[in-house]
Structure 1
Amino acid sequence: MLSRAAENLFWTARYLERAEAAARLIEMGQRMTLIPGPGRDEWRSVAAVAGAAHLFEDEERITEARIVEKLVLCPETPASIRYCLNRARENARAVRTAITAEMWEALNDGWRRLEMADPGAANRELPAIIDWVKTRAAVFRGASETSMLRTDGYYFLRIGGLLERSELTLRLLDVKYYVLLPETETVGGGRDHHQWTSVLHATSASRAYHHVYRGDFSPWKITDFLILNQRFPRSVAYCYNELSRYLGLLALAYGRRDHCHMLAGEMVARLADVEMGELFQTGLHEFTTEALQHNARLSAAISRAYHF
């Protein structure tokens, strides 16, 4: 496969995953602003997780309308849903013959919806827009799983999506880790419960978490689930296991291994050695910071290895 085609597939998946993540974060922000209790600027944490905190530095309080303007409709903000969907479509169009008709239709269906929406209408229709974005991402992934040949193109697509997904989980925990520490004035209260579950909702982890831990929302167990659980598709450990597997398949296809293979293997080994609760004892913030840096190094190493 040409390096340009590999790069387009890699970034198609990353941008689509980023758009869906932004939609889920905004949904989380809406839910949390409805919970009564001591004020926290929930929209600021949404912007921080999305990597767009700098856009609101001069604003004392961020409103939902401003979030819609910057993280939904803005065509120039790399963290916005509109920007990410447009970039995903442009990358896919550049490799139109490498993807299936079903995959292209998933990206092409109603792609001008956000371009044609004015801020007022977008605010009123925000839940519908969020559902539409999540559906587009799900349909694209479903189409790739059921209609794409398992060749190097599929591997690059999966690697891009997995890298972006692990990064979102890490950033969410890094920004919201204070949520996972009990609020002394509200422990056991309704707001405390919603703060615990908001992180799970943002990663579509609520039902899966319940199957593993039932109603126990202990901070170390939530951390264990979102970082170390080997079976949950949005956990860091699951993403890295799959990243290592697909990079291994590329190594077999091209007959060589590179620095990126070593980096993926290092994280897989590190996560396999961590025990439940250990991340809280050693420092969750320190771990997520190091892991995000590792993600960046791995992304750069993949680009060098396959000449993006």
Structure 2
Amino acid sequence: MLSRVAADLYWLARYVERAENTARLLDVASRLSSMPTTYAGRTNEWESAMTATGGNFLFDQRYEEANRRNVIDFLAFSPENPSSIASCLATARQSARSVRTAITREMWEVINDAWLELRRHSVDSMSPRQLAEFLLFVKDSCLRLDGFAYRTMLRTDAHAFYNMGTFIERGDATARILDVKYHVLLPEQDGVGSGLDYFQWASILRSASALTAYQWVFRDALRPWRVAELLTLRKELPRSIVNCAENTLWFLDKLANDYGRQGPAQRAARAYHAGLVNNSIDGIYQEGLHEFLQRVIRQNNALGEAIEAQYLR
């Protein structure tokens, strides 16, 4: 496969996953903002959503305040934000158009329809109900594309590159969301176990579609260390960091078998995955949750760069 085609498939998946993750963050911010002050906390939930995407610097250059309208505009519609939902879907559509022969008709129709539908929406028409419907549309479109990729793509190297993009992006998003909760969402003066603490940890689980999963795995009230364990080390959860690392390694090994050789990307993936499966939640808290998550983000980014250098250039 040409490196150009592989790169388009990889980034198609990454941008679609990024659009879905951004929609999930906006959904959580909207839910928290609608709660009574007692449970919403003293921090700005819209600013927290912005922090989780890593777009603060670009946002601060264009807006004076991280309020509802500005954050929705920047994260959902702004063409000046390369990671906005609109920008992600537009870039994903362009990548899909470049590799029409490597994806299926159903996949193309989903991404093209989503791009066309998106143009009907703007920040000026975002009442709370319309925002919820818009975010549901974005998440459903991304999930449909994921489902069609799973059900209709041939299990060739094209399928491997597409899935590696998905899991690299998903692992990064999970780490960032959890790190923001640890540092931004809960003010220092609010104790662990308060009503505020419960609703904010629940919001993090909802952003990863993991609230029901938590109840199945632990069958207990929300505990911060168990939420952290679920999102980092429990491979049963599709959005956990270790699950994303494991799947990335699996597809890299498949490419190595298909192409008859391994490289730096496979070695980086093994080291990354081994560091996760050999860890424990006690070890994470001894290191410091923030320090652990920052290290995970760096390793995940380094793995993405290794994949690009080995296959996509």
Query: TM-score, structure 2 length as denominator?
Result: 0.93
**CA–CA distance in 1 between the matches of 2:101 and 2:144?**
19
Q: Match for residue 4 of structure 1?
A: 4
CA contact (8 A) 1:180 1:196 kept: no
Residue type at the aligned position of 1:226: L
Q: Does 1:112 align with 2:116?
A: yes
Give, in angstroms, the shift of residue 175 of structure 1.
Answer: 1.6
CA contact (8 A) 1:221 1:277 kept: no
Query: TM-score, structure 1 length as denominator?
Result: 0.95
Question: May I ask how many residue pairs the two structures share in their alignment?
Answer: 308
**CA–CA distance in 2 between the matches of 1:157 and 1:93?**
14
Q: Does 1:101 align with 2:99?
A: no
Over residues 93-141 of structure 1, what are the superposed CA-to-partner deviations in whole Å (9 max), with x where a residue is unaligned? 0000110011111101142233333321134521111000000111101
Q: Match for residue 220 of structure 1?
A: 225
CA contact (8 A) 1:229 1:238 kept: yes
Residue type at the aligned position of 1:6: A
| Pick aligned residue for 2:146 from 141, 144, 148 | 141
Show structure 2 runs of 5+ residues with no match: none
Q: Match for residue 92 of structure 2?
A: 88
**CA–CA distance in 2 between the matches of 1:245 and 1:19?**
24
Give, in angstroms, the shift of residue 68 of structure 1.
Answer: 1.6
**CA–CA distance in 2 between the matches of 1:257 and 1:161?**
21
Q: CA RMSD in A?
A: 1.8
Q: Does 1:203 align with 2:227?
A: no
Residue type at the aligned position of 1:266: A
Q: Match for residue 44 of structure 1?
A: 47
**CA–CA distance in 1 between the matches of 2:13 and 2:140?**
15
Give, in angstroms, the shift of residue 219 of structure 1.
Answer: 1.5
**CA–CA distance in 2 between the matches of 1:6 and 1:307?**
6
CA contact (8 A) 1:182 1:192 kept: no
**CA–CA distance in 2 between the matches of 1:55 and 1:153?**
33
**CA–CA distance in 1 between the matches of 2:22 and 2:47?**
13
Residue type at the aligned position of 1:5: V
Q: The residue matched to 1:108 in structure 2 has which SS?
A: helix
Q: The residue matched to 1:116 in structure 2 has which SS?
A: coil
| Aligned counterparts, 1:239-254, within 5 A | 239-254=244-259
Q: Match for residue 17 of structure 2?
A: 17
Residue type at the aligned position of 1:48: T
CA contact (8 A) 1:240 1:268 kept: yes
Q: Does 1:54 align with 2:68?
A: no
CA contact (8 A) 1:228 1:237 kept: yes
**CA–CA distance in 1 between the matches of 2:154 and 2:59?**
43
CA contact (8 A) 2:245 2:269 kept: yes
Q: Match for residue 255 of structure 1?
A: 260
| Aligned counterparts, 1:294-305, within 5 A | 294-305=299-310
**CA–CA distance in 2 between the matches of 1:147 and 1:264?**
27
Q: Does 1:122 align with 2:126?
A: yes
**Range 126-135 or range 274-283, more displaced:** 274-283
Give, in angstroms, the shift of residue 6 of structure 1.
Answer: 0.4
CA contact (8 A) 1:155 1:250 kept: yes
Give, in angstroms, the shift of residue 18 of structure 1.
Answer: 0.1
**CA–CA distance in 1 between the matches of 2:246 and 2:221?**
26
Q: What is the percentage of aligned positions where both structures have the same residue?
A: 38
CA contact (8 A) 2:11 2:95 kept: yes
Residue type at the aligned position of 2:229: D
Show structure 1 runs of 5+ residues with no match: none
**CA–CA distance in 1 between the matches of 2:60 and 2:143?**
33
Change (3 A) 1:290 1:194: same
